[in-house]
Structure 1
């Protein structure tokens, strides 16, 4: 009973499909060794013809080569089947050929007698012609097409991969679609490479057919005359016809398979099957059909020509042309009727009620370019800017700590031809001009001479610069200029802006995606914080506060642990931000002062510090009671001292008490964007502080 159940479990449809191919290959190989009766040969020869016809029909109705990706394997299997049948039929022809023309089965007899009329000379000629057509014309051409296609497909792979990556970075496709396209590109290259190799099987099969034919004829004559005492004439006629029938029954399916291979690798269009493409592209133009009918008709009127055949063909082509002219006229009339109806339907469509489909979402990050910059962002032309945008998004994620929204790129004919515009949530945050084919020579402040070029300013850092030709690059380098190409100019400007606006790029969706990413490695840490202690909105606000002051959020483990520790005592985002900054103090100081050298910072004048502390206590932390003259003097003095710090090669950093840090950071940020304000509590105990300047509030 258990054996029966096990047998039923093995004979499931899935297992049978898995066992089908190995069983078939073993059966084909067995045919070369084991003798087969004539009826079995008839079955296998018929099966071989049926398979070849099915393969050709599948090739005709295949829209794209990859839809028949198993074709190289089919070529190998069918070639092996034909060779096995040649061996099996040779064996039975030599063993039983003396008994009559049907010794090797009815199929070989039919091909040897009825198809060539029982004439050995005609049979040999037909066989040789089929072999020449298969070997020299069809298989050689299909193999050459497959070879060239494989080479060009392999050469085009990097460009196709970059185009897919560009679509992914631009948000046109998702990760799953990009993965599917990459796999399709790889499969296409592998397919044509396999077809190139598989075509050699068919060419070898044609050569083997000729050799087998000669061996069978010579061997048959020796067996018939020597072993069976047959007269030479009868032996020649019997064994030659059997051999020709055997060769024809193998070469006709081989020719069909070769034609199918040529049809698969020679396809260009992928929107219809071969029959539909031929009908649409060859017989769709009535002028072509009519001219062909006239030419064939004129040839049919020449004396001595087969007039009836030519006139019939000309009439058929003329009838087809007349039918096509009628179809074209009806289509034109229908289009003329539809046009006014469509025009009349436009106001009706405009008068319909608005729906949510009319609300188009605003792109988080957008890049609009003038028409001369389109080649830089055109994936079809392998735009250099697309690769740079992909790289800067990856670098932003590595440096800042989260993945920004994709940059949606579009052309804008309202812009100047060489202009571009960068928008954040539909609002312009930067613009500039770029000149493809030219280079921007930027003056970093230590050049030794001017350049002959279009004077401008670097859009990212507002430094003086020149647009120069490629021939001036070496001269610009020699004079001390920093030289970059047009795509680098736009990419650098975009990178500078997304770093400055990193806080606005971190929306609720990005925050949740960041928490989901962290939860893959530390799930318990995230679960204990969100939503148990803090909502996502508060976490987002804390992260935005950090990003606004140039603090990266790569160390999310420390940030989450600090929030979880302090959330039971306070829900205020500013207070939580202060606690997180203290926890990240070592990282913050390391980014400003690398290594373990002394921290050379600016500090508040003691008198100014007391005034600000009093203002904080009386103003409820808003600092609203600071006198305008004091605020103005403090701004100007902070700007002067910061500039002196930068001139000394030091970062402008102001060290203040924790109670004043947020107030002064927000207050001074507009006047001195490069100034960083840190609290005493954020400085690690291992670092030594050295005050290099004092910031006072007196007007100067």
Structure 2
């Protein structure tokens, strides 16, 4: 074809050209019959396509199709009007519709025509127009949310770039389609109005033409009236079919299911409903004057269908159960099923059978609720989401024993006595109470197990008394807090980034990935969590990283900048307001020795301090910490900003709970009292 012209293009062009020519050129009645028959066939094709199409976008050109068929139908209306007024013979189709469909009666034909117009104009068109308008509005309103969902799936790796492009294109097509449908429904509405006006003009024009040609007014009214009604019916029936197609398309709820099957199953798929309908019909036939011959058999049919549907549902349920069992068995038999065993739970709490009642809700156990509260508490305090904590019983453990695993590796264990309470002396209780000596598992403090009957007396004496679920929950909380930094994954960081991006997109776009990669941001956040500092103020953290990432990408150095930016939070955490805090400082000579021993490499900085010197410093730290603990204070050492990072690395293996802060992380209004100095 020249210029790449296809047969389909020629067909569409000829269709539109014919519609235009029919307005101008008179056509014989035989050709009009062919065109009217084609119009009816086209309307039926559109109707059944709308009915059985699975997705509305499969008929994305429907609004254009409405315009084409409307103009074509009106052009046929004009041609038939011309034949009626000029020859009185518009052909077989128009004549048959007037005589057969209209019952060879002008009154009956007119009534049927008016009824069709009312149905089309007031019922179908009005409803379709409203549905199209609302659907277009909701589709446009939902676009930003759908776009964000696609971006989130793309960021998490749930979909590929190509799939994301396809989904975005689909959203654009949907918005364009429903927007066009909102306007296209006006074509159908206008078509109905035009049909009414053309029929009225035909009737008046026919009577005038007949009377002027010497025909009696009554005869002219019958002849031209029937032909006019036939013409109106032959154009309005296809118009009604296309209006119905429009309504079906804009109200289609299921996008993928088979429309007919879904509709039948929804209407006649509930046996209880069919039983009620059948019983009601039988009752109406027996009790009321309604025909018993009609209503009772119809009611029996509904009851029989209900029995069959109920039986089919039972068979389907059994087949589904068997199929599920077979599928599960097949999955177990598959060699690749071993892959599912390779995944490791981030946090696991395993316990012996004696502790099961604490975790069983049916036996009054609230351990599951406490685990939920642990995750909530840590999220509020540290600003990070704790992974799902897996609880499971283990018959290989002692009945009252429990163990806690991090990434499949046991990190600690404990043992409780069911129906007992743990009593701990806070330090000022003088009178002792009898019990079974033990140690509190979280902080390894001395304690005793007491019975329910001893609980009230122990509390009166001043003991701290806790129940077994609280012991396990506290122990689990401390373990999670101490390992939360290693539990923070890149995916967790991506989720935090996505959350911040909703309110601060400019900041996130500037920082990631232009200045820092996701892994580098993860490392900074892990450094913060490792020292029990909250990352909840993610906005300040990202602002600080964006300010300094251009000069250094050393995550340890960036962490120090972030800590200094979070000075108010650090001060509030360790230095109470209106209270003098006792701390230990670092000898300037020690600081100088540490800085002189720092060696910078591509992999990061490390200390090359003499072992004897290191040992002396650690020994001095131990002595100074003991002084603070003896007066009941937290072990806090204050250093200069440049030394803090290296001193913390030097001491973290020896003193896990030691708090090391720099002067730049302390607010100016904080009152400090030095009770010692690390010398070495």
Q: What range describes the TM-score normalised by the shorter chain of this pair? A: 0.5 to 0.7
Which residue does 1:242 correspond to in 2?
227
Aligned counterparts of 2:239 and 2:332: Cα–Cα separation in 1:
62
For the structure 1 residues 94 and 370, does the alpha-carbon distance in structure 2 shift closer, same or farther, using more than 3 Å as the test?
A: farther
Any idea what SS the aligned residue of 2:32 has? helix
Aligned counterparts of 1:85 and 1:196: Cα–Cα separation in 2:
26
1:40 matched to 2:35? The reply is: no
Which residue does 2:117 correspond to in 1?
131
For the structure 1 residues 674 and 185, does the alpha-carbon distance in structure 2 shift closer, same or farther, using more than 3 Å as the test?
A: farther
Which residue does 1:11 correspond to in 2?
5
Please report how far the alpha carbon of residue 670 of structure 1 lies from its aligned counterpart in structure 2 after TM superposition: 6.2
Please report how far the alpha carbon of residue 637 of structure 1 lies from its aligned counterpart in structure 2 after TM superposition: 7.8
Q: Could you tell me which of 163, 188, 205 is aligned with 1:219? A: 205
Please report how far the alpha carbon of residue 558 of structure 1 lies from its aligned counterpart in structure 2 after TM superposition: 7.5
Q: Could you tell me which of 105, 109, 112 is aligned with 2:95? A: 109
Give 1:278-293 correspondences, 5 Å limit: 278-293=263-278
1:72 matched to 2:63? The reply is: yes
Please report how far the alpha carbon of residue 314 of structure 1 lies from its aligned counterpart in structure 2 after TM superposition: 4.5
1:267 matched to 2:252? The reply is: yes
Any idea what SS the aligned residue of 1:633 has? helix
Q: Could you tell me which of 329, 333, 337 is aligned with 1:355? A: 337
Which residue does 1:571 correspond to in 2?
none
Any idea what SS the aligned residue of 2:226 has? helix
Say whether the 8 Å CA contact 2:131–2:250 is kept in structure 1: yes
Say whether the 8 Å CA contact 2:195–2:236 is kept in structure 1: yes
Please report how far the alpha carbon of residue 57 of structure 1 lies from its aligned counterpart in structure 2 after TM superposition: 0.8
Say whether the 8 Å CA contact 1:635–1:671 is kept in structure 2: no
Give 1:621-636 correspondences, 5 Å limit: 621=608, 623-626=610-613, 628-633=615-620
Aligned length: 511
Say whether the 8 Å CA contact 2:102–2:229 is kept in structure 1: no
Aligned counterparts of 1:177 and 1:424: Cα–Cα separation in 2:
36
For the structure 1 residues 232 and 315, does the alpha-carbon distance in structure 2 shift closer, same or farther, using more than 3 Å as the test?
A: same
For the structure 1 residues 676 and 170, does the alpha-carbon distance in structure 2 shift closer, same or farther, using more than 3 Å as the test?
A: farther
Aligned counterparts of 2:326 and 2:73: Cα–Cα separation in 1:
66
For the structure 1 residues 130 and 620, does the alpha-carbon distance in structure 2 shift closer, same or farther, using more than 3 Å as the test?
A: closer
Say whether the 8 Å CA contact 1:503–1:545 is kept in structure 2: no
Which residue does 2:447 correspond to in 1?
none
Give 1:82-101 correspondences, 5 Å limit: 82-97=73-88, 101=89
Which residue does 2:428 correspond to in 1?
none
Which residue does 1:469 correspond to in 2?
none
Aligned counterparts of 1:316 and 1:39: Cα–Cα separation in 2:
47
- Structure 2: gaps (5+ residues): 349-366, 393-404, 412-480, 495-508, 530-540, 567-584, 600-605, 628-637, 665-673
Any idea what SS the aligned residue of 1:267 has? coil
Q: Could you tell me which of 236, 251, 254 is aligned with 1:251? A: 236
Aligned counterparts of 2:410 and 2:81: Cα–Cα separation in 1:
82
Say whether the 8 Å CA contact 2:85–2:206 is kept in structure 1: yes
Aligned counterparts of 2:610 and 2:663: Cα–Cα separation in 1:
16
Scaled by the length of structure 2, the TM-score of the pair is: 0.56
Any idea what SS the aligned residue of 1:36 has? coil
For the structure 1 residues 35 and 615, does the alpha-carbon distance in structure 2 shift closer, same or farther, using more than 3 Å as the test?
A: closer
- Residues 259-300 of structure 1 show CA distances to partners (whole Å, capped at 9, x for unaligned) of 222223333444534422332122334454455445545655
For the structure 1 residues 409 and 59, does the alpha-carbon distance in structure 2 shift closer, same or farther, using more than 3 Å as the test?
A: farther
Q: Could you tell me which of 80, 85, 108 is aligned with 1:122? A: 108
For the structure 1 residues 668 and 638, does the alpha-carbon distance in structure 2 shift closer, same or farther, using more than 3 Å as the test?
A: farther
Which residue does 1:605 correspond to in 2?
588
Please report how far the alpha carbon of residue 144 of structure 1 lies from its aligned counterpart in structure 2 after TM superposition: 2.9
Which residue does 2:310 correspond to in 1?
328
Which residue does 1:470 correspond to in 2?
none
Which residue does 1:200 correspond to in 2?
186
Aligned counterparts of 1:639 and 1:184: Cα–Cα separation in 2:
68
Aligned counterparts of 1:657 and 1:296: Cα–Cα separation in 2:
87
Please report how far the alpha carbon of residue 194 of structure 1 lies from its aligned counterpart in structure 2 after TM superposition: 3.8
Say whether the 8 Å CA contact 1:35–1:91 is kept in structure 2: yes
Any idea what SS the aligned residue of 1:118 has? coil
Aligned counterparts of 1:31 and 1:372: Cα–Cα separation in 2:
80
Say whether the 8 Å CA contact 1:123–1:241 is kept in structure 2: yes
Say whether the 8 Å CA contact 1:161–1:182 is kept in structure 2: yes
Any idea what SS the aligned residue of 1:244 has? helix
Aligned counterparts of 2:181 and 2:598: Cα–Cα separation in 1:
82
For the structure 1 residues 297 and 178, does the alpha-carbon distance in structure 2 shift closer, same or farther, using more than 3 Å as the test?
A: same
Which residue does 2:478 correspond to in 1?
none
- Structure 1: gaps (5+ residues): 1-6, 378-387, 394-406, 415-422, 430-496, 511-516, 523-535, 561-576, 595-601, 641-650, 679-692
Scaled by the length of structure 1, the TM-score of the pair is: 0.55
For the structure 1 residues 81 and 357, does the alpha-carbon distance in structure 2 shift closer, same or farther, using more than 3 Å as the test?
A: farther
Please report how far the alpha carbon of residue 332 of structure 1 lies from its aligned counterpart in structure 2 after TM superposition: 2.7
